[in-house]
C-alpha cells in the first residue's frame, strides 16, 4: 500500500499503465518473485526516480522473473537525481496550470542553467 502512490506510468513506454504495473507486481508476489516488504521499499525508491530509471523499469516489468535486487543494481538512486526530478515535476506542474514562473525561481533556473553548461550538458 505504501508503494502505490510512488508508482508512475512510464512516459516512453506507454504499454504499462499504473494499473498494469500494479497487476504486474501482484503477480510477482503471487509467484514469489517478490517476497518481502524490503523489496517493495526498494521498488519505491526506483519508482521515485522513474524518469531516470525508465528503461530499467521497463525491462523489469517485461521480464517477470527479474528480481528486485537485479533492478536496483541497474538503477540510479542518487539523492541529487531525485531532487532534480522533483524540481522538473514541480516546474512542469506550474507550466501545465498556465501559471507564471516567479522571478526568484527564474533566477535559480538561470544559475542552474549556468552550472549545467559548466558540467558539459
69 and 84 share one domain: no
**pLDDT score recorded for residue 53:** 87
Do both 92 and 109 map to the same domain?
yes
The boundaries of the domain holding residue 46 are 4-73
Residues (pLDDT < 50) of the chain are: none
In this structure, what C-alpha cell is assigned to residue 30?
A: 503471487
Residues 48 and 13 in one domain: yes
68 with 83, same domain? Answer: no
pLDDT of res. 77: 65
Does residue 30 sit in the same domain as residue 88?
no
Give the count of domains, the chain.
2
Tell whether 86 and 54 lie within a shared domain: no
Indicate the pTM of the whole model.
0.67
Give yes or no: residues 40 and 65 share one domain. yes
Contact between 52 and 83 under an 8 Å Cβ cutoff? The reply is: no
Main-chain dihedrals φ then ψ at residue 101, nearest 5 degrees: -75, 130
Amino acid at each position: 500500500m505504501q508503494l502505490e502512490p510512488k508508482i508512475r506510468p512510464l512516459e516512453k513506454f506507454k504499454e504499462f499503465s499504473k494499473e498494469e504495473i500494479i497487476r504486474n507486481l501482484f503477480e510477482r508476489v503471487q509467484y514469489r518473485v517478490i517476497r518481502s516488504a524490503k523489496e517493495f521499499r526498494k521498488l519505491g525508491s526506483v519508482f521515485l526516480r522513474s524518469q531516470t530509471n525508465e528503461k530499467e523499469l521497463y525491462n523489469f516489468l517485461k521480464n517477470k522473473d527479474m528480481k528486485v535486487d537485479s533492478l536496483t543494481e541497474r538503477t540510479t538512486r542518487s539523492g541529487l537525481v531525485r531532487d532534480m526530478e522533483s524540481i522538473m515535476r514541480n516546474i512542469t506542474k506550474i507550466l501545465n496550470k498556465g501559471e507564471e514562473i516567479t522571478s526568484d525561481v527564474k533566477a535559480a533556473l538561470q544559475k542552474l542553467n549556468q552550472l549545467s553548461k559548466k558540467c558539459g550538458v
